[in-house]
């Protein structure tokens, strides 16, 4: 168990599955756990018996930071197109910053994270909160506890340990700080919507996520209502699911492109052929970039930001392929292992976007060898929001700049070691030198 807690569990589970099979029962501490590592068994859990395994186990992190698991496991992201001006402005800001550092080594990982969190913040709150940086810091610190492998999660009968756990104390303090910020944001929105200028309510076009959530607060026009804790937990979800996973995926994609310059050139050729006349990237056209989309798919196959899908828990006894599954058994689906299974993928450890060009495999959870967003009724509802927040920044980065490694470093020497948080990031930040290709629209913006 100590190996599991101190390392990269998705890799350990894959190695164990290779030895003991793709439907593996483990007792992790006191928690009966089944690790699913094949598409066949994933389909059994996530489609055939989906209703039985639709619940989430209540972990220390979820109970504290998600207000007793009242977050509904990621809110539905609607009206993706309405946030287009926000994305464009934040990405233009990023391009301006990079253009001012052409020829110099920059920490691209850090700038991507700032940009994606900026997009998420403005989509969620309508503007960047004055407490934006503090909120991001709280989120990142708390997410180190989110994997569900805390001692108190694994030994639930020893509840006295929970009360004295340093993890509980730390999370409670982080929650207090986060709650103060969230409550201020909610109060600002309530006051804004009381204003005479807002008579008749916020328009659908300009409403942010908090506005939408507050419409359902204490109302049941559609047969349900959101409590105050629901609203707070969903705001937290929007940040962790919307910003962190996008930043992680962009970082992995750029690292793979730098390691594979031929693939980067092919992507740049596709993007520049379409946008050269305009001199800028147009979001409406990005959805037609077949090779760029294949790069994103391949990145998510090799480097799923959440390699172990959020755990499920059985609500009743059932049988799968002759195995009896007791009630309250935790199910862990290893999407990372299935994405690298040689039974389903040629050269599974190689970065080959072309494998998706003429493939019908998509993100909708119908192809169980490829489920970076999950499947069934627990599939991530933020797919559209998340994808455009990856595809568009990549298009901007690849259109406006060429990229090279600093200090004469060879692309094959780039460190691709993983680091576990709530997402699996690259251990080292990506330091690159930008070389201007077409920054005319960026310069016009700076001049204006």
Which residues belong to the annotated binding site? 380
Q: Which residues contact 343 (CB under 8 A, 6 or more apart)?
A: none
Annotated binding site for heme: 380
Order across the sheet with 401-404: list the strands: 106-107, 431-436, 401-404
SS3 state of residue 166 = helix
Nearest CA among 77, 175, 170, 58 for reference residue 124: 77
Nearest CA among 14, 6, 38, 268 for reference residue 149: 6
| Rounded-to-5 percentages of helix, strand, coil across the chain | 55, 10, 35
Query: In the 8-state DSSP scheme, what is residue 276?
Result: T
The string of DSSP codes covering 205-258 is: TT--HHHHHHHTBT--TTS--B-HHHHHHHHHHHHIIIIIHHHHHHHHHHHHHH
Q: What is the CA radius of gyration of the chain?
A: 22
The two three-digit tokens of residue 281, written as one number:
């990237």
Query: In the 8-state DSSP scheme, what is residue 201?
Result: -
The string of DSSP codes covering 293-331 is: HHHHHHHHHHS-SSSBPPPEE-SS-EEETTEEE-TT-EE
Q: Please state, as a whole number, how many other Cβ atoms lie within 10 Å of the Cβ of residue 254.
A: 23
């Amino acid at each position: 168990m100590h190996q599991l807690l101190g390392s990269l569990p998705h890799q350990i589970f894959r190695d164990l599955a290779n030895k003991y099979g793709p439907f593996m029962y483990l007792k992790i501490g006191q928690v009966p756990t089944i690790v699913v590592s094949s598409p066949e068994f994933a389909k059994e859990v996530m489609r055939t018996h989906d209703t039985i395994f639709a619940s989430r186990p209540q972990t220390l992190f979820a109970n504290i930071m998600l207000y007793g698991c009242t977050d509904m496991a990621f809110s539905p992201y609607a009206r993706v197109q309405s946030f287009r001006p926000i994305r464009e402005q934040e990405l233009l800001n990023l391009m301006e910053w990079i253009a001012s550092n052409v020829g110099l080594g920059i920490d691209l990982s850090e700038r991507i994270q700032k940009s994606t969190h900026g997009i998420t913040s403005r989509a969620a709150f309508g503007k960047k909160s004055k407490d934006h940086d503090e909120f991001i810091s709280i989120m990142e610190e708390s997410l180190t506890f989110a994997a569900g492998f805390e001692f108190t999660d694994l030994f639930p009968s020893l509840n006295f340990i929970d009360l004295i756990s340093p993890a509980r104390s730390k999370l409670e303090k982080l929650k207090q700080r986060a709650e103060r910020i969230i409550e201020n944001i909610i109060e600002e929105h309530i006051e804004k919507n009381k204003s005479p200028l807002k008579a008749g309510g916020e328009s659908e076009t300009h409403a942010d996520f908090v506005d939408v959530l507050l419409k359902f607060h204490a109302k049941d026009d559609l047969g349900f209502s959101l409590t105050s804790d629901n609203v707070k937990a969903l705001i937290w979800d929007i940040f962790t699911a919307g910003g962190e996973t996008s930043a992680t995926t962009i970082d992995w994609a750029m690292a793979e492109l730098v390691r594979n310059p031929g693939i980067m050139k092919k992507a740049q050729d596709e993007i520049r052929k379409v946008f050269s006349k305009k001199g800028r990237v147009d979001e409406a056209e990005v959805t037609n970039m077949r090779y760029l989309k294949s790069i994103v798919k391949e990145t998510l196959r090799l480097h799923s930001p959440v390699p172990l899908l959020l755990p499920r828990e059985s609500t009743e006894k059932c049988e799968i392929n002759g195995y009896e599954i007791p009630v309250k058994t935790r199910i862990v689906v290893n999407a990372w292992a299935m994405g690298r299974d040689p039974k389903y993928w040629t050269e599974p450890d190689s970065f080959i976007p072309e494998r998706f060009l003429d493939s019908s495999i998509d993100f909708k959870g119908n192809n169980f060898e490829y489920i970076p967003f999950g499947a069934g009724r627990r599939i991530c509802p933020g797919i559209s929001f998340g994808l455009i927040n990856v595809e568009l920044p990549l298009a901007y980065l690849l259109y406006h700049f060429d990229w090279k490694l600093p200090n004469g470093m060879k692309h094959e020497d780039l460190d691709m070691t993983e680091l576990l948080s709530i997402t699996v990031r690259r251990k080292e930040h990506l330091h690159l030198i930008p070389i201007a290709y077409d920054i005319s629209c960026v310069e016009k913006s700076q001049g204006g």
